[in-house]
Amino acid sequence: MPTTSDDCIFCRIVAGELPARIVRRDERTIAFMDIAPATYGHTLVIPRNHSRDLLEIAPEDLHAVASAAQSIAARASERLGADGVNLINSCGSAAWQTVFHFHMHVIPRYADDPLRLPWVPAQGDPDEIATAAAQLIG
Ligand code: 5GP
Ligand code: ZN
């Protein structure tokens, strides 16, 4: 039995208590259509076990989600004619997470779709980059 959290809509989808258009299942994950798709074929891959986010998910579940997301990305390319795919995970409200059961968005991309990068690429401050690197290195 997967670990669950009360009041988690994705746990309820795993349990079959809420409807979802499930497109792939394996021992550790399910994949289903996002109810508010960013593009045609937008799919969510989630672990069956409840974990809040990227910082909490068990490595085995994260690996299984990554593998399932790769499989859905291949289907998007082969069956939907996607020109590309974005994998997006939001960790924390500040990063746009709204459902607190880990999920990977698999977003098929089309040459003429309306999505845009959420930041404007611009040359960074080298000192600030070096400072961040010093904090992250290890
Ligand atoms: P987040 O904002 O946390 O990165 O992503 C949550 C995603 O879950 C959103 O894209 C939203 O459309 C989707 N979502 C929220 N509630 C439901 C639901 O009940 N069913 C399905 N299939 N998707 C949902
Ligand atoms: Zn959950």
Out of 35, 43, 51, 105, mutate this one to test ligand 1's pocket (max ligand atoms within 8 Å of CB): namely 35
In a domain, 17, yes or no: yes
C-alpha to C-alpha distance for 42 and 89, rounded to whole angstroms: 13
Cα of 13 from ligand 2 centre, angstroms: 9
C-alpha to C-alpha distance for 92 and 97, rounded to whole angstroms: 5
Structure confidence at residue 6 (pLDDT): 82
- Domain of 48 in residue numbering reads as 9-136
Q: Which two tokens stand for residue 61?
A: 């579940």
Q: Are 70 and 96 in contact (CB under 8 A)?
A: no
In a domain, 45, yes or no: yes
Place of tokens 């910082």: 55
In a domain, 107, yes or no: yes
In a domain, 2, yes or no: no
Eight-state DSSP code of residue 129: H
How many domains does one find in the chain? 1
In a domain, 4, yes or no: no
Residue 126 pLDDT exceeds 90: yes
In a domain, 36, yes or no: yes
Model pLDDT for residues 40-96, shown as the tens digit of each residue: 999 999 999 999 999 999 999 999 999 999 999 999 999 999 999 999 999 999 999
Structure confidence at residue 87 (pLDDT): 98
Q: Which two tokens stand for residue 91?
A: 């960790």
Out of 13, 51, 87, 98, mutate this one to test ligand 1's pocket (max ligand atoms within 8 Å of CB): namely 98
The CATH number linked to 19 is 3.30.428.10
User: Which ligand does the CA of 99 lie closest to?
Assistant: 1
* Residues lining ligand 1, Cβ inside 6 A: 9, 20, 32-36, 44, 90, 96-99
In a domain, 16, yes or no: yes
In a domain, 3, yes or no: no
